[in-house]
Protein backbone atom coordinates (compact mmCIF):
# COMPACT_ATOMS: atom_id res chain seq x y z
CA UNK A 1 0.00 0.00 0.00
CA UNK A 2 2.81 2.41 0.92
CA UNK A 3 4.63 1.76 -2.36
CA UNK A 4 1.51 2.47 -4.43
CA UNK A 5 0.95 5.76 -2.55
CA UNK A 6 4.58 6.70 -3.20
CA UNK A 7 4.13 5.91 -6.91
CA UNK A 8 0.99 8.05 -7.09
CA UNK A 9 2.78 10.94 -5.35
CA UNK A 10 5.82 10.65 -7.66
CA UNK A 11 3.67 10.41 -10.80
CA UNK A 12 1.51 13.35 -9.65
CA UNK A 13 4.61 15.41 -8.90
CA UNK A 14 6.14 14.59 -12.29
CA UNK A 15 2.84 15.48 -13.97
CA UNK A 16 2.71 18.83 -12.16
CA UNK A 17 6.31 19.63 -13.14
CA UNK A 18 5.67 18.83 -16.78
CA UNK A 19 2.64 21.15 -16.82
CA UNK A 20 4.42 24.11 -15.16
CA UNK A 21 6.29 25.09 -18.31
CA UNK A 22 4.39 27.30 -20.72
CA UNK A 23 5.99 28.53 -23.90
CA UNK A 24 6.08 32.33 -24.06
CA UNK A 25 5.91 33.91 -27.48
CA UNK A 26 5.75 37.70 -27.18
CA UNK A 27 3.54 39.66 -29.53
CA UNK A 28 5.74 42.42 -30.92
CA UNK A 29 5.14 45.15 -33.43
CA UNK A 30 8.49 45.37 -35.13
CA UNK A 31 9.85 46.35 -38.48
CA UNK A 32 11.00 43.16 -40.10
CA UNK A 33 14.08 44.56 -41.83
CA UNK A 34 15.87 47.36 -40.02
CA UNK A 35 19.36 48.40 -41.12
CA UNK A 36 22.00 46.91 -38.82
CA UNK A 37 25.36 48.68 -38.78
CA UNK A 38 28.37 46.94 -37.21
CA UNK A 39 31.74 48.58 -37.17
CA UNK A 40 34.56 50.27 -35.38
CA UNK A 41 36.73 53.19 -36.42
CA UNK A 42 40.14 53.29 -34.75
CA UNK A 43 43.49 55.06 -34.96
CA UNK A 44 45.27 51.81 -35.83
CA UNK A 45 47.07 51.59 -39.20
CA UNK A 46 44.70 48.82 -40.36
CA UNK A 47 41.54 48.78 -42.42
CA UNK A 48 38.39 49.90 -40.62
CA UNK A 49 35.41 47.68 -41.39
CA UNK A 50 31.70 48.53 -41.48
CA UNK A 51 29.21 45.68 -42.01
CA UNK A 52 25.66 46.40 -43.16
CA UNK A 53 22.83 43.89 -42.92
CA UNK A 54 19.08 43.70 -42.40
CA UNK A 55 17.61 42.62 -39.08
CA UNK A 56 15.74 39.35 -38.79
CA UNK A 57 12.36 38.88 -37.10
CA UNK A 58 12.34 37.95 -33.43
CA UNK A 59 13.04 34.25 -33.08
CA UNK A 60 14.31 33.80 -36.64
CA UNK A 61 17.39 31.63 -36.88
CA UNK A 62 18.36 32.60 -40.39
CA UNK A 63 21.65 34.29 -41.13
CA UNK A 64 21.55 38.08 -41.50
CA UNK A 65 21.03 39.41 -45.02
CA UNK A 66 23.95 41.64 -46.10
CA UNK A 67 23.09 45.00 -47.65
CA UNK A 68 25.19 45.35 -50.76
CA UNK A 69 25.77 48.15 -53.26
CA UNK A 70 25.70 50.99 -50.71
CA UNK A 71 27.74 54.18 -50.73
CA UNK A 72 29.50 54.33 -47.34
CA UNK A 73 31.68 57.27 -46.31
CA UNK A 74 33.34 58.64 -43.18
CA UNK A 75 33.72 62.39 -42.72
CA UNK A 76 35.68 64.30 -40.10
CA UNK A 77 35.35 67.72 -38.49
CA UNK A 78 37.99 69.16 -40.87
CA UNK A 79 35.76 68.56 -43.92
CA UNK A 80 37.58 65.47 -45.18
CA UNK A 81 35.52 62.62 -46.65
CA UNK A 82 36.76 59.05 -47.00
CA UNK A 83 35.03 56.46 -49.19
CA UNK A 84 34.77 52.84 -48.10
CA UNK A 85 35.05 50.03 -50.64
CA UNK A 86 32.75 46.99 -50.63
CA UNK A 87 34.93 43.87 -50.46
CA UNK A 88 32.24 41.20 -50.03
CA UNK A 89 28.47 41.64 -49.92
CA UNK A 90 27.63 44.04 -47.09
CA UNK A 91 31.23 44.55 -45.89
CA UNK A 92 32.79 47.98 -46.48
CA UNK A 93 36.42 48.82 -45.64
CA UNK A 94 38.67 51.87 -45.58
CA UNK A 95 41.97 52.10 -47.42
CA UNK A 96 44.62 52.21 -44.65
CA UNK A 97 46.94 54.28 -46.85
CA UNK A 98 44.28 57.03 -47.07
CA UNK A 99 42.33 56.88 -43.78
CA UNK A 100 43.52 56.47 -40.22
CA UNK A 101 41.55 57.88 -37.28
CA UNK A 102 43.12 60.64 -35.21
CA UNK A 103 42.36 61.09 -31.50
CA UNK A 104 40.56 64.37 -30.82
CA UNK A 105 38.77 64.55 -34.18
CA UNK A 106 35.03 64.11 -34.70
CA UNK A 107 33.91 61.39 -37.14
CA UNK A 108 30.53 60.85 -38.80
CA UNK A 109 29.44 57.73 -40.69
CA UNK A 110 27.28 58.27 -43.81
CA UNK A 111 25.36 55.47 -45.55
CA UNK A 112 23.38 55.76 -48.78
CA UNK A 113 21.61 52.51 -49.66
CA UNK A 114 21.96 53.58 -53.33
CA UNK A 115 18.91 51.86 -54.76
CA UNK A 116 19.06 48.88 -52.42
CA UNK A 117 15.96 49.12 -50.23
CA UNK A 118 14.53 52.40 -51.56
CA UNK A 119 17.68 54.61 -51.61
CA UNK A 120 17.66 55.72 -47.99
CA UNK A 121 20.30 57.95 -46.36
CA UNK A 122 21.60 57.33 -42.85
CA UNK A 123 24.01 59.48 -40.84
CA UNK A 124 25.48 58.91 -37.39
CA UNK A 125 26.02 61.65 -34.86
CA UNK A 126 29.54 63.10 -34.91
CA UNK A 127 31.61 61.21 -32.33
CA UNK A 128 34.97 62.29 -30.96
CA UNK A 129 37.74 59.71 -31.08
CA UNK A 130 39.13 59.76 -27.56
CA UNK A 131 42.81 59.11 -26.84
CA UNK A 132 43.62 55.79 -25.19
CA UNK A 133 45.31 56.14 -21.79
CA UNK A 134 48.46 54.18 -20.98
CA UNK A 135 48.18 50.73 -19.41
CA UNK A 136 48.96 50.75 -15.67
CA UNK A 137 49.39 46.99 -15.29
CA UNK A 138 48.89 43.81 -17.28
CA UNK A 139 48.76 40.35 -15.73
CA UNK A 140 47.17 36.92 -16.08
CA UNK A 141 45.78 34.21 -13.85
CA UNK A 142 45.33 30.49 -14.52
CA UNK A 143 41.66 29.56 -14.29
CA UNK A 144 39.52 26.47 -14.62
CA UNK A 145 37.44 26.67 -17.78
CA UNK A 146 35.34 23.54 -17.26
CA UNK A 147 34.92 21.19 -14.36
CA UNK A 148 34.07 17.51 -14.45
CA UNK A 149 30.83 16.45 -12.73
CA UNK A 150 32.88 15.23 -9.75
CA UNK A 151 34.38 18.74 -9.32
CA UNK A 152 37.85 17.96 -10.64
CA UNK A 153 39.25 20.40 -13.24
CA UNK A 154 39.05 19.12 -16.79
CA UNK A 155 40.47 22.10 -18.65
CA UNK A 156 42.48 25.08 -17.55
CA UNK A 157 42.95 28.38 -19.28
CA UNK A 158 44.39 31.81 -18.82
CA UNK A 159 42.43 34.99 -18.02
CA UNK A 160 44.19 38.24 -18.95
CA UNK A 161 43.60 41.35 -16.86
CA UNK A 162 44.46 44.96 -17.65
CA UNK A 163 44.32 48.02 -15.40
CA UNK A 164 44.15 51.56 -16.68
CA UNK A 165 42.56 54.86 -15.78
CA UNK A 166 41.68 58.11 -17.48
CA UNK A 167 43.31 61.01 -15.58
CA UNK A 168 40.65 63.41 -16.93
CA UNK A 169 37.87 60.95 -15.96
CA UNK A 170 36.09 61.42 -19.31
CA UNK A 171 36.15 57.85 -20.62
CA UNK A 172 34.72 54.78 -18.96
CA UNK A 173 34.99 52.12 -21.68
CA UNK A 174 37.95 50.94 -23.73
CA UNK A 175 38.67 48.07 -26.06
CA UNK A 176 42.02 46.32 -26.28
CA UNK A 177 42.93 43.48 -28.60
CA UNK A 178 45.79 41.06 -28.16
CA UNK A 179 47.61 38.52 -30.25
CA UNK A 180 48.49 35.17 -28.76
CA UNK A 181 52.04 33.89 -29.05
CA UNK A 182 53.28 30.63 -27.66
CA UNK A 183 56.66 29.33 -26.64
CA UNK A 184 57.29 25.62 -26.24
CA UNK A 185 60.12 24.46 -24.02
CA UNK A 186 61.41 20.96 -24.62
CA UNK A 187 62.94 19.05 -21.72
CA UNK A 188 65.82 18.07 -24.03
CA UNK A 189 68.77 20.09 -25.26
CA UNK A 190 68.58 20.70 -29.00
CA UNK A 191 71.79 21.71 -30.78
Measured in degrees and rounded to the nearest 5, phi and psi for residue 143 equal -140, 155
Q: Is residue 39 part of a domain?
A: yes
| pLDDT-based confidence at residue 84 (cuts at 50, 70, 90) | very high
What does the pLDDT look like over 165-190, one tens digit per residue? 888 777 777 777 778 787 777 777 76
- 143 — pLDDT class (breaks 50, 70, 90): confident
Report yes or no on 172 lying in a domain.
yes
40 lies in the same domain as 80: yes
pLDDT digits (tens, 9 = 90+) for 118-140: 788 999 999 999 888 888 899 88
pTM value > 0.75: no
Residue 119: domain span: 35-128
140 and 101 housed in the same domain: no
Are residue 48 and residue 110 in the same domain, yes or no? yes
Task: Please check whether residue 189 lies inside any domain of the structure.
Answer: no
Mean pLDDT of the chain: 81
Instruction: Identify whether residues 94 and 114 lie together within a single domain.
Output: yes
- The DSSP code for 97 is T
Residue 14 — φ and ψ, nearest 5°?
-65, -40
Give the model's pLDDT for residue 48: 94
Same domain, 67 and 139: no
3-state SS assignment for residue 79 = coil
Residue 63 belongs to domain with CATH number: 2.60.40
Average pLDDT in the 4-12 region? 56
Output the CA–CA distances (angstroms, integers) from residue 5 to 2, 11, 96, 105, 166, in the order listed. Answer: 5, 10, 76, 77, 68
3-state SS, residue 18: helix
Domain boundary among 110, 128, 146: 128
Amino acid sequence: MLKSVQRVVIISFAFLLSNCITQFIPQVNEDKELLVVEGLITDRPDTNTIKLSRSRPLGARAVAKPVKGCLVTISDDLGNTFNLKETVDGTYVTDPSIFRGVAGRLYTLHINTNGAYNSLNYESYPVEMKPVPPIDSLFYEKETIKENPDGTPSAEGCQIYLSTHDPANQNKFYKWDFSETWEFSLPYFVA
